[in-house]
Amino acid sequence: MRKFVFFLIVILILSSCGNKSGNINQNIKMRECCTIIIDGPNTMEIGKTITLKAILYDKNNKRIKNPQNITPNWIIDNNKVILVKKVQGDWIKLKAMGKGKCEIKVMQDVAVSTIIVAVE
């Protein structure tokens, strides 16, 4: 009888641990970014700087307000027109170097957003 009770207690402990880790994994998946919107100006003057911010939304279209541990990948297609000054997680600081247009892309998980910034 003691062996049976001990065995039952071990099973209950192991099953409760499994439920807790399952909930944690589910919460992480809920925070996956599915939509990105780039917030900021789309024109600049030579020598000036701007900041663009990625606004992130999860799969339920709820804004991810504190995007900790989320670092979107920023891609600039023309370094002669715009130079990256600083990247800090969900925002990027850019400096206009010469006249022209530059495509700026941000990617996180399955989400991609693009903006074209014109330097005048």
Architecture of domain 33-119: Sandwich (2.60)
Domain boundaries of the chain, sorted by first residue: 1-30, 33-119
pLDDT in tens, 9-25: 545 444 444 433 343 33
pLDDT in tens, 46-87: 999 999 999 999 888 898 887 667 788 999 999 999 999 998
Q: Give 16-28 as a DSSP string.
A: HHHHHHHHHHHHH
Q: How far, in Å, are 17, 60, 70, 80, 93 from residue 73 at the CA level? A: 35, 22, 10, 20, 14
